């Protein structure tokens, strides 16, 4: 009896501790940063693995705009949140993620970091990755002067670093507001060793739509892609409402969360192959509907012939050309119409041309002889005059050697026992 009571008391204590972890944001935030399981929450989604990337090797990711994305396996998802921090929504997003032991990447606006520095530190203390999102979130990065764009980027980084304090924690990740990319902006970020993030699919949670619609778009687009980077906003109330169901159904449908972090001297990058950075790389075992691009051929060690010159293509075929003053009267005298005037063409400079063509192989011009009796009989019927058709219809013997020497279509009259008669000129 006493043992049973002790067990009941111990079970109650564990249940109370689990309840405190759910209700207390401080306690929940202290969970492991990249745990494959979630202590106290066996039903949680968790974070399956940590992906370490080198921003200098792959400076632009996200197939909404770029050719490459993170090297994820099928059914792997990277969660990203923009525009924070903003109480109370950003804090609620952190609580939801912590309850599921899920790690994400947050892109901080510098102005928000100055207004709510404690919110930035809480993101870092929870083990999430922190990138930047400019100072003022201008929706004109694709057309503003590069000097102003650089100022927006640098000020946003400085404000976020100031909010983080001496402990640091900023990752070299950046997302352009509104995904309004510009090559000059991307080049500037790459020169600073910062990786430009787009996304693979959004949930449109910045639009005035219900939370249920945010959930539907996130799941449908994820199912269509199979994996990738999901774009959300931690400053939206609709995102806070949709996020628990999104995380629940990710686990129910077999999806796994991956936490992306930047490589450091103490944390080497995750080994990957180049094709893994493609969302759906082409496989040799999968048929494609179009031919791959063919490289240009180089005819090495191939004998060549000089290309024909313009005089070689003259219609006079070797006859001496007449001057225009002599040709016109002769044509008029014979009643031959004069040629239409040709458009003026610049004179072709004389000299040896450097253009050469490969010599075709002799086997291309081989013609198979026709030696079948039926073909020869048909040729005789056409070639002989009407008086000789009766003689040609009699059985005849063929000399195989002679037939091979025939020109296709000709008739060996001497072998038929016929003597050619005189040909009258018409």
Instruction: Give pLDDT tens digits for 220-233.
Output: 999 999 999 999 99
C-alpha–C-alpha distance, residues 205 and 203, integer Å: 5
Q: What is d(CA 376, CA 197) in angstroms, rounded to the nearest whole number? A: 77
Q: How many separate domains does the chain show?
A: 1
3-state helix, strand, coil in the chain (%, to 5): 40, 10, 50
Backbone angles phi, psi at 186, to 5 degrees: -65, -40
Which pLDDT does position 39 carry in this prediction?
Answer: 80
Q: Determine the distance from the C-alpha atom of residue 126 to the mean position of all C-alpha atoms in its chain, rounded to a whole number.
A: 35
In a domain, 167, yes or no: yes
How does residue 185 score in pLDDT terms, banded at 50, 70 and 90?
very high
pLDDT averaged over every residue in the chain: 78
User: Which residue, 118, 58, 120, is CA-closest to 84?
Assistant: 120
Tens-digit pLDDT profile for residues 337-377: 666 666 656 665 555 555 666 777 776 666 665 555 555 55
**Which of 249, 345, 275, 219 minimizes the C-alpha distance to 58?**
275
147 lies in some domain? yes
The answer to whether residues 230 and 239 touch, using CB atoms and an 8 Å cutoff, is: no
Judge whether 124 lies within some domain: yes
Phi, psi dihedral angles at 79 (to 5 degrees): -90, 135
Answer whether residue 134 is part of any domain: yes
At 168, the pLDDT band (50, 70, 90 cuts) reads: very high
What is the structure's pLDDT at 200? Answer: 97
Q: What is the DSSP letter of 167?
A: G
Residue 156 near residue 132 (C-beta atoms within 8 A): yes
In this structure, the strands spanning 228-233 and 105-108 are: unpaired
Centre a 10 Å sphere on the Cβ of residue 173 and count the other Cβ atoms it contains. Answer: 25
Higher confidence at residue 420 or residue 194? 194
Q: Are 236 and 84 in contact (CB under 8 A)?
A: no
Q: Is residue 106 part of a domain?
A: yes
Tokens of 378: 């048909």
Asked, for residue 326, whether it belongs to a domain, the answer is no
Strand partners, 228: 77
Q: Which positions ≥6 away from 308 have C-beta within 8 Å?
A: none
Instruction: State the pTM of this model.
Output: 0.61
User: Helix axis angle, 183-191 relative to 146-164, nearest 10°?
Assistant: 40
CATH code, 141: 3.20.20.370
Going by the DSSP 8-state scheme, the letter that residue 207 receives in this structure is S
Let me know if residue 45 belongs to a domain.
yes
In a domain, 348, yes or no: no
Residue 163 has pLDDT above 90, yes or no: yes
Task: Tell me the HSE value of 153 on the side-chain side, using a 13 A CA sphere.
Answer: 27
Q: How far apart are CA 163 and CA 130, in angstroms?
A: 12
pLDDT in tens, 25-76: 333 333 333 344 688 888 899 999 999 999 999 999 999 999 999 999 999 9
Exposure string of 32-43, with b = 16+ CB inside 10 Å and e = fewer, is: eebbeebebbee
CA distance 117 to 123: 10
More reliable by pLDDT, 97 or 338: 97
- From CA 311, how far away is CA 342, in angstroms rounded? 17
Domain of residue 127: give its range: 22-270
CA 153 – CA 111 distance, rounded (Å): 12
- Helices 117-125 and 89-99: crossing angle in degrees, nearest 10, is 10
């Amino acid at each position: 009896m006493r043992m049973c009571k002790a067990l009941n008391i111990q079970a109650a204590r564990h249940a109370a501790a689990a309840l405190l972890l759910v209700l207390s944001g401080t306690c929940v935030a202290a969970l492991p940063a990249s745990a494959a399981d979630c202590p106290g929450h066996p039903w949680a989604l968790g974070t399956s693995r940590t992906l370490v990337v080198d921003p200098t090797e792959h400076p632009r990711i996200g197939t909404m705009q770029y050719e490459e994305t993170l090297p994820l396996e099928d059914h792997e998802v990277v969660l990203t949140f923009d525009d924070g921090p903003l109480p109370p929504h950003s804090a609620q997003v952190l609580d939801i993620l912590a309850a599921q032991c899920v790690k994400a990447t947050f892109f901080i606006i510098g102005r928000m970091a100055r207004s709510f520095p404690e919110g930035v530190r809480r993101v870092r203390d929870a083990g999430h990755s922190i990138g930047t999102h400019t100072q003022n979130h201008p929706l004109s990065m694709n057309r503003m002067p590069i000097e102003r764009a650089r100022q927006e980027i640098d000020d946003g980084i400085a404000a976020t670093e100031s909010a983080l304090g001496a402990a640091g924690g900023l990752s070299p990740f950046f997302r352009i507001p509104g995904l309004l990319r510009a090559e000059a902006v991307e080049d500037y970020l790459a020169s600073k060793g910062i990786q430009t993030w787009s996304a693979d699919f959004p949930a449109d949670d910045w639009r005035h739509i219900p939370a249920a619609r945010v959930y539907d778009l996130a799941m449908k687009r994820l199912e269509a892609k199979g994996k990738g980077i999901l774009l959300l906003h931690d400053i939206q109330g609709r995102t806070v409402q949709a996020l628990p169901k999104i995380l629940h159904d990710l686990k129910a449908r077999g999806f796994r969360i991956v936490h992306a972090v930047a490589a450091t001297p103490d944390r080497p990058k995750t080994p990957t192959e180049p094709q893994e950075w493609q969302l759906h790389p082409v496989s040799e075992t999968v048929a494609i509907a179009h031919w791959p691009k063919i490289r240009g051929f180089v005819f090495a060690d191939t004998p060549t012939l000089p290309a024909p010159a313009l005089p070689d293509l003259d219609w006079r075929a070797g006859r001496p050309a007449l001057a225009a003053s002599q040709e016109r009267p002769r044509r008029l005298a014979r009643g031959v119409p004069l040629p239409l005037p040709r458009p003026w063409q610049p004179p072709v400079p004389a000299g040896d041309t450097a253009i050469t063509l490969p010599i075709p192989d002799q086997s291309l011009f081989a013609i198979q002889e026709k030696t079948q009796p039926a073909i020869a009989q048909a040729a005789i019927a056409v070639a002989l005059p009407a008086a000789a058709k009766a003689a040609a219809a009699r059985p005849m013997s063929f000399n195989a050697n002679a037939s091979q020497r025939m020109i296709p279509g000709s008739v060996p009259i001497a072998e038929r026992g016929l003597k050619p008669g005189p040909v009258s000129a018409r």
